[in-house]
Amino acid sequence: MSIKSFLPGRLGFGTAPLGNMFRAIPDEEAAATVDAAWNNGIRYFDTAPFYGAGLSEIRLGEALTDRPRDEFVLSTKVGRVILDEIEDPSARDLGEKGGLFEHGRPNKIVNDYSADATLRSIEDSLKRLKTDRLDIVWVHDVAQDFYGDEWLAAYETARTGAFRVLQRLRDEGVIKAWGLGVNRVEPLELTLDLEEPKPDAFLLAGRYTLLDHERALQRLLPAAKAQNVDIVVGGPYSSGVLAGGQHFEYQKAPAPVIAKVERIKALAEEYGVGIKAAALRFSLAHPAVAAAIPGASRPSRIAEDVAALGEKVPAAFWTALRTEGLIAPDAPVPTA
């Protein structure tokens, strides 16, 4: 099923920050941020057990508990099981995401993409989210940035475990859709080449943004569109560096990235364009993209995102980006 048929708009809320990503967020601030999303008309919320070892799911579930369940779309992820056992959050091996959730809960995180773990993960997520159903389930981080040279082994476990379970749950009507939620294009390209099982959509974080899109443009997005596999863009601000933050790829942004951001910002200023509007509108312009889900940990950020989505961006701005070599020549841009 195309997720475009049930997604309530093109802007959702990625709730990784609610898992205390980068900083410890007070419960009240987390709740106020979800309320701000709701009050600004956002009705698609994405989370994962990985975000703060269940903290994001717990906070999101609490904040949405009095909202009518039929009025919003909810997605979470499988591939990590959260235990009652305690570990040191700062000592976890998170691949390229090291230290990301060191302010989260200390519960032990176990990587497991098997069929049994997938079912257990969903059951646990339902409890944390205080809900009776999930709309979309993503297979989380089965890619090089987390597993390095071992990623294909993890992928194969997911292919014979999580993929098949989620396809069955979708076919039975337990969930509406499933796919992969990753930060790399390779696992998605591999999945599109499979005869079975067939996903409905992909959540691709950080790989179709103003700063980084050329690889996804080459094969992934055309193939996804041809197979009617929708793309949800995660991290449209490239971990925040496009929106005034210091992070790129979940780590401190390197000098070449900062320099490119400054060039984009200079052009945005010249044409009277907000940087968030440029980033969001660009990510959503590709016909394969169904939605974008920027994260936020402060209520004010949500209103900025909603305003950015409605901002008019002159065609001359996109032409200038192309002329300066800041976006790919073949990247679709908004027409209005």
List strand residue ranges (DSSP E) for the chain, in order: 13-14, 44-46, 73-78, 80-86, 107-111, 136-140, 177-182, 201-205, 230-234, 247-248, 251-252, 289-293
Which residues fall within 8 angstroms of residue 244, CB to CB, at 6 or more apart? 275
Q: Cα–Cα–Cα angle for 284, 289, 295, nearest 5°?
A: 65
Find where tokens 């409890």 sit: 127
Residue 319 exposure: Cα atoms within 13 Å on the Cβ side: 5
Q: Is the dihedral of CA 123, 129, 135, 139 positive or negative?
A: negative
Classify the phi-psi angles of 52: left when phi > 0, otherwise alpha if psi is within -120 to 50, otherwise beta. Answer: left
| 239 neighbors 250 (Cβ within 8 angstroms) | yes
Using the structure block, give the residue that is written with the tokens 């941020």: 33
Q: How far is CA 11 from the centre of its chain?
A: 12
Between CA 6 and CA 232 the distance in angstroms is 13
Contact by Cβ (8 Å): 77, 117: no
Task: Kindly give, in sequence order, each residue whose CB lies less than 8 Å from that of residue 173, ignoring residues fewer than 6 positions away.
Answer: none
- Is 181 strand, coil or helix? strand
Is 186 in contact with 149 (CB distance < 8 Å)? no
Beta-carbon count within 10 A of 311 CB = 14
Please check whether residue 50 is in contact with residue 80, taking contact to mean a CB–CB distance below 8 angstroms: yes
Catalytic residues: 46, 51, 77
The Cα–Cα gap between 261 and 274 comes to: 13
